[in-house]
Amino acid sequence: MVLISKAQHQGIINNASSPHVRLKSINLGDCRWTEGFWAQRFKVAEQAMVPYMGEVLCGEVGHALNNFKIAAGLKEGQHQGMHWHDGDFYKWLEAAMYIYAQNGDKKLLKEIDGYIDIIGQAQQADGYLQTQVQLRDHIDRYENRRFHEMYNTGHLLTSACIHHRVTGQRNFLDIAIKHADLLYTIFYPETKHYGRFGFNQTQIMGLVELYRTTQDRKYLELAERFINRRGKYKVEDHPTTKGYPIGDMVQERTPLRKSHEAVGHAVLALYYYAGAADVYAETGEKALIDALDRLWENVTHKKMYITGAVGQAHYGVSTNLDMIQEGFIDDYMMPNLTAYNETCANVCNAMFNYRMLTIKGEAKHADVMERVLYNSALSGISLEGKDYFYANPLRMIHNTRDYHAHANITETPKREPYLSCFCCPPNLVRTIAKLSGWAYGLSDNGLSVNLYGGNSLNSRLLDGSVIKLTQETQYPWEGSVTIKMLECKEEAFDMMLRIPEWATGTEIRINGKKAQVEAVPGTFATISRQWKAGDVISLNMPLEATLVEGHPRIEEIRNQVAIQRGPLIYCIETPDLPENTDILDVYISGNTPLKATYRPDFLGGLTTIEGKVLLRQDQKEGMYRSIRKPELKPYHTRFVPYYAWSNRGLAEMTVFMPVVWEE
């Protein structure tokens, strides 16, 4: 039996005592970025992302704090913002707490506690707390799920648990407990009215986290009940569902345990799967994990973009012909220009995979996390950390869409400093702020290295023994990683090194000598030995820019390729092409050498790839044109990481390009 040290209960997800988890979370603050890519991103989060977002949400633009002040009687006015705006504020508070866990800024904590005091004053006597309902006389509590009460609840519970873990204080946690107790009273009994209420399932994750924090099992039981109800009730209209699509759109046509296909709204689906993974970690129910494995396979191998993005369409239908929005459509149906790929959905994909990684201990889940983080997550925010994308297409062509025709203007040709639907920005920022907590995992007798980046780790293994090490690397720009052991126990333990799926030919050395372990791409290379202070592990992962094609059933990218180098996907933008070039006239030479060059003063410091493209010169008008041999003019250009596009003004862009193999 593994003894769980008390110190390990302050993880991002507190799975220290979860019986069905292979890799436990390290404590918040145990790992700190020190150099390189993620250290730079965390610094931007600390100095720009979180402060700027606080100004927006606490001022007149975002109005989220004002909603709580009005509900608390501290201010006059009306509710402004979407029905889920409370949740946006809770996510921002969570992000701020991750920053505080790293820098210990007492001024920041005082500011946060001031906001918590206002939230507490807004809470009603019985625990109810939803400003979008409290400030509207014509809406009753839990009248209709489209008012997003469950979504806000989930983020409230999660944020409060994180605050408690980081500070040890109960001021926010007590608010959450009071609210969750009311939720249990209303929703645990089986009633027709509330049976189909939950649909944006963040409350499941929040309830499990509250159970882990308080050890009150009723919260876990309620979380499981929300799962059990999906697909139980008929899809016909119901008073609580009016005004919002039903069926596959909200994952309720088919019970989760019988599901084989990811359907409907991608954010709703992946929050749901992540919550179900949390429940499985506590219950170990085989039917639940079997379903999640099937759904992971379907998402990853049939509905996920090369960038790790998910949610192919803004509007469409499921395979059962249910109307869907912002979500999954048919297998391999992967448009580029109209790809929706909501930032929230991409982040949720990483969240789901992190939970699956902890449960299964399989490197493939960390591979998906990494693909998302370096590509379709970071593309949702500008390099300076103050402008946002809601949708993340793989191709952008101007004047092809009426962006103002879309509700809430969530799709835009360039990043915006504020989105009226503000769910994605704080979701992404809290992910960047907490990412060091995903970098390592605690196995039965050792440590897994999940993500690479310059950092220092000061933690404890599951037997309570101290482990201190540093990781030095310029990953993802370079493939070499050096891990130095500073302090550890005398007995043998495991070091599990993730070998990324793309890293064929990786070499591992210990103290300069080749390690007696095979580095198989897509797995953990496990080294078990008696480690000592001063030991050095060296990884050398060959970084080569390669051309990547899609599955032949992805019709839109037949005879096209993308460029990948390590975990990064690259794109070409019009600033790197002759003036007035149409992005659709860009072909890539399949024979061109691809040269990688690190440019410290370009777009915040990154590696570009140089190569030859071919620009078509003879395009004709008309929908269909007769053709002989196209006239192609060679042009030497550079490609930039997908996450960094749209940081040089309005630009056209594409990830996939038609390929020409020259003789």
Name 620's Cβ contacts closer than 8 Å, sequence gap at least 6: none
Q: Are 504 and 542 contacting, i.e. CB atoms less than 8 angstroms apart?
A: yes
Helical (H) or strand (E) element with 112:
helix 106-122
pLDDT at 194: 87
Segment 205-253, tens digit of pLDDT: 999 999 999 999 999 999 999 999 988 877 676 788 888 778 999 999 9
Segment 281-302, tens digit of pLDDT: 999 999 999 999 999 999 999 9
Spatial CA neighbour of 212 closest among 59, 54, 21: 21
Question: Which residue carries 């196995």 as its tokens?
Answer: 443
Segment 122-168, tens digit of pLDDT: 999 999 999 999 999 999 999 999 999 999 999 999 999 999 999 99
State mean pLDDT over 338-344.
Answer: 96
294 burial type by CB count under 10 A (0-12 exposed, 13-18 middle, 19+ buried): middle
Structure tokens at 247: 């069926």
Question: Which residue carries 């979180």 as its tokens?
Answer: 50
Rg (C-alpha) for the chain, rounded Å, is 25
State mean pLDDT over 1-18.
Answer: 72
**3-state secondary structure string across 489-532:** CCCCEEEEEEECCCCCCCEEEECCEECCCCCCCCEEEEEEECCC
- Of the pLDDT bands very low, low, confident and very high (cuts 50, 70, 90), residue 410 is confident
Q: Are 281 and 18 contacting, i.e. CB atoms less than 8 angstroms apart?
A: yes
pLDDT at 1: 30
For the cut 90, the answer to whether the pLDDT of residue 178 exceeds it is: yes
For the cut 90, the answer to whether the pLDDT of residue 474 exceeds it is: yes
pTM of the model: 0.96
Taking phi over 0 as left and psi of -120 to 50 as alpha, with beta for the rest, 142 belongs to left
pLDDT at 83: 95
Q: Please report the sign of the dihedral spanned by the C-alpha atoms of residue 375, residue 378, residue 384, residue 389.
A: positive
Structure tokens at 471: 């990781």
- Give the Cα separation of 158 and 287 in Å (integer): 26
Percent of the chain with pLDDT over 90: 89
State mean pLDDT over 192-199.
Answer: 83
State mean pLDDT over 474-478.
Answer: 98
Q: Please report the sign of the dihedral spanned by the C-alpha atoms of residue 83, residue 350, residue 340, residue 49.
A: positive
pLDDT at 615: 97
- Of the pLDDT bands very low, low, confident and very high (cuts 50, 70, 90), residue 627 is confident
Q: In the beta sheet, which residues pair with residue 408?
A: none
Taking phi over 0 as left and psi of -120 to 50 as alpha, with beta for the rest, 296 belongs to alpha
State mean pLDDT over 355-372.
Answer: 98
Residue 269 CA: distances (Å) to CA of 296, 340, 425, 483, 586: 11, 15, 19, 37, 36
The residues spanned by each domain of the chain are: 36-244, 253-438, 440-540, 546-660
Segment 504-555, tens digit of pLDDT: 999 999 999 999 999 999 999 999 999 999 999 999 999 999 999 999 999 9
Spatial CA neighbour of 378 closest among 428, 333, 303: 428
Side chain identity at 216, as an amino acid letter?
Answer: D
Spatial CA neighbour of 43 closest among 605, 642, 643: 605
- Give the Cα separation of 392 and 644 in Å (integer): 12
- Of the pLDDT bands very low, low, confident and very high (cuts 50, 70, 90), residue 406 is low
pLDDT at 244: 78
Side chain identity at 504, as an amino acid letter?
Answer: T
pLDDT at 411: 78
pLDDT at 6: 42
Bond preceding residue 476 cis, omega within 30 of 0: yes
For the cut 50, the answer to whether the pLDDT of residue 2 exceeds it is: no
User: Angle between the 149-167 and 85-103 helix axes, to the nearest 10 degrees?
Assistant: 10
pLDDT at 240: 85
Q: What does pLDDT average to over the chain?
A: 95
For the cut 70, the answer to whether the pLDDT of residue 5 exceeds it is: no
For the cut 50, the answer to whether the pLDDT of residue 562 exceeds it is: yes
Of the candidate CATH numbers 2.60.40, 3.30.450, 3.40.50, 1.20.120, the domain formed by 440-540 belongs to: 2.60.40
140 burial type by CB count under 10 A (0-12 exposed, 13-18 middle, 19+ buried): exposed
Structure tokens at 128: 């109810």
State mean pLDDT over 265-279.
Answer: 98
For the cut 70, the answer to whether the pLDDT of residue 377 exceeds it is: yes
State mean pLDDT over 642-649.
Answer: 96
Listing DSSP states for 134-191 in one string gives HT-TT--TTS-GGG-HHHHHHHHHHHHHHHHHHH---HHHHHHHHHHHHHHHHHSS--
Question: Which segments of 215-342 does DSSP mark as H helices, in order?
Answer: 217-229, 266-283, 286-302
Structure tokens at 80: 């402004």
pLDDT at 54: 97
Side chain identity at 184, as an amino acid letter?
Answer: Y
pLDDT at 7: 43
Name 280's Cβ contacts closer than 8 Å, sequence gap at least 6: 20, 288, 289, 292, 359
- Of the pLDDT bands very low, low, confident and very high (cuts 50, 70, 90), residue 3 is very low
Name 279's Cβ contacts closer than 8 Å, sequence gap at least 6: 204, 208, 220, 223, 224, 227, 285, 288
- What three-state secondary structure class fits 332? coil
- What three-state secondary structure class fits 33? strand
Q: Are strands 568-573 and 560-565 parallel, antiparallel or unpaired?
A: antiparallel
